[in-house]
Amino acid sequence: NSANREVTLLDYGAGNVRSVRNAIKKLGYTIRDVEKPSDLASADKLVFPGVGSFGQAMKILTKKGLVGPLKDYIASGRPFLGICLGLQLLFEGSEESGGCEGLGVIPGAVTQFDTRLGLPVPHIGWNNIAPTRGSALLDGVGDRRVYYVHSYRSATPSPANSEWVLATTQYGGEFVAAVNRGSVSAVQFHPEKSGATGLDILAGFLHPKEAVAARQAAKEAASSPASPPSGPSGLARRVIACLDVRSNDQGDLVVTKGDQYDVREKDGGRDVRNLGKPVDLAARYFEEGADEVAFLNITGFRDCVMEDTPMLEVLRRASERVFVPLTAGGGGREGGEKGGRGERRSRHQTAESGADKVSIGSDAVDAAQAYYVRGGVADGSTAIEQISAVYGKQAVVVSIDPRRVYVTDPAAVPHTTVRTAKAGPHGEQYCWWQCTVKGGREGRDIGAVELAKAVEALGAGEILLNCIDNDGVGKGFDLELVDAVSRAVTIPVIASSGAGCPQHFSEVFHSTGAAAALAAGIFHRREVGIAEVKLHLREQNIPARL
């Protein structure tokens, strides 16, 4: 009956839970929001996605009079699913907000990952789940990877809370990935961003019997073994599909792809190359197993206000069909002066429209140059700092568009140079990579290595490292560039530009510190499949999500 297909959602308004809503709807449920404490008493299935910080969440719940009713709901044993911070809040407290009490349902406290061994924090990406016992939530899901984004966790189960622990994961040691007792469950990862596996876990919560039966049926129907042979464990190297989107000469938004940033056909007509519709293509990549999908608005709608552009609609619609992390970037400065209200509003809207990460290109170059002029001081004025402060650093990606510059004498330039295996046109042995703005149209006097260091200091969580020389050429990534930048920072670096075959992916993961590799043209033109790339990575003993 319809009541069974209703989920009560506790969204306390501290951040964007659009993807959780979309995932619940995708599974055929309607959502009822908790508006007042009594809505908890009358709920019969509750989902609690935690966003923001531990202390802030407890403060809002207390202010809204929800703490008591929430504890009562959990104690009643009715179905409950906490997500991410929604798991952590079940504990007695967290190091994140010292002294602040949690809901105290589970004994023990939540602590920060130990960064002393150089462990990058937050823990972001696709990692395993190792169940410690059977459950409708995770049975049949095995060690398939799910998506995590968090800086705090409940470390190794203690005797006091071991009966709650349903699954653990390794990241600089063991931590609690899922808990369960009766109908009360919570997960540290994001099922709404964990692809088909995540939706299946959510189904295991919403309708356990059906989900278990469906998994069993799928297992029996499969002619091959139900789960692919497990590959190397741990954080997977990500494979990202990127869609460069712009309006064509007829004014429609299309996915395009250039050669070295020229997106026009080479014939006399010089039309913008049209490789498909943004939302449909993003949905295709989700189904094919992309670990993430990125949209870059390369029109640079710099003169119009973001609200008037169809790009936000693209994001909204994509987030109804794509259940892996979405990045959106390009043209963030519209609607006002740099750093002004218009810019903040449009970037805020990007995040609210379903993007998990906002990518910043040209403005990051300005920000980095200003940072060095100030003598390496962050003053809070940039979009990088502001978005990072509001949404967390994992939500800020800086997209770099560098071009190789050869030099004979490294001492002659102030930039970090490398000795290159591919000598320049005049036999130069050294090179650096000059950052550009406006889609490569304007070069700036700052190198990619220096830019990466500056934006990390300003609070960027990730770097999308393009390379104009290699872009769209299909001859492989610029390994020297990826190596130089990934050595210079501790945040994850996404290698981009030049992928032509699966071997290019294993090459960049074997010879550089890249955490992810991104491609566009080969996927759009169906020359190489995403699954093909992943299988190749596994063969090469590189952890990948299949």
Q: Is 497 in the site for ligand 1PR (CB under 6 A)?
A: yes
Q: Is 519 in the site for ligand 1PR (CB under 6 A)?
A: yes
Q: Is 94 in the site for ligand 1PR (CB under 6 A)?
A: no
d(CA 237, CA 60): 37
Q: Annotated catalytic residue: which of 244, 334, 356, 483?
A: 244
- Between residue 211 and residue 250, which ones bind ligand 1PR under the rule CB under 6 A? 242, 244
Tell me, residue by residue from 303 to 342, as one string, x for binding to ligand 1PR by CB under 6 A and - for no binding: --------------------------xxxx----------
Q: How many CB atoms lie within 10 A of CB 75?
A: 10
Contact region with ligand 1PR (CB under 6 A), list: 50-58, 90-98, 118-126, 513-521: 513-521
CB 293 within 8 A of CB 284: no
Contact region with ligand 1PR (CB under 6 A), list: 70-78, 167-175, 177-185, 255-263: 255-263
- Note if 72 is an active site residue: no
Residue 464 C-beta: closest distance to ligand 1PR, Å:
7
Residue 142 assigned ligand-binding role: no
CB 152 within 8 A of CB 111: yes
Q: Is 343 in the site for ligand 1PR (CB under 6 A)?
A: no
Residue 64, CA distances (Å) to 34, 37, 70, 82 in order: 11, 8, 11, 18
Q: Which of 82, 102, 140, 439 binds ligand 1PR (CB under 6 A)?
A: 439
Q: Is 263 in the site for ligand 1PR (CB under 6 A)?
A: yes
- Note if 220 is an active site residue: no
- Note if 401 is an active site residue: yes
Cβ contacts of 235 within 8 Å, gap of 6 or more: 123, 125, 126, 127, 171, 543
Q: Is 478 in the site for ligand 1PR (CB under 6 A)?
A: no
Q: Which of 521, 530, 537, 545 binds ligand 1PR (CB under 6 A)?
A: 521
Contact region with ligand 1PR (CB under 6 A), list: 100-108, 210-218, 422-430, 514-522: 514-522
Q: Is 254 in the site for ligand 1PR (CB under 6 A)?
A: no
Residue 17, CA distances (Å) to 37, 69, 93, 218 in order: 20, 21, 23, 30
Residue 500 C-beta: closest distance to ligand 1PR, Å:
8
H-only helix segments in 155-291: 195-206, 208-221, 278-288
Cβ contacts of 335 within 8 Å, gap of 6 or more: 305, 306, 307, 342, 343, 345, 346
Structure token digits, residue 17: 């839970």
Residue 84 assigned ligand-binding role: yes
- Note if 84 is an active site residue: yes
Residue 466 assigned ligand-binding role: yes
DSSP 397-409: EEEE-EEEEEES-
d(CA 194, CA 144): 10
Q: How many CB atoms lie within 10 A of CB 360?
A: 25
Residue 280, CA distances (Å) to 33, 41, 240, 254, 286 in order: 30, 41, 16, 11, 10
Q: Is 296 in the site for ligand 1PR (CB under 6 A)?
A: yes
d(CA 348, CA 344): 6
Q: Which of 367, 499, 515, 530 binds ligand 1PR (CB under 6 A)?
A: 499
- Note if 190 is an active site residue: yes
* Residues placed in the known binding site: 84, 331, 466
Q: Where does this chain bind ligand 1PR (CB under 6 A)?
A: 242, 244, 257-258, 261, 263, 296, 298, 300, 329-332, 359-363, 399, 401, 439, 466, 471-472, 496-499, 518-521
* Residues placed in the known binding site for L-glutamine: 84
Catalytic residues, by residue number, are: 84, 190, 192, 244, 401
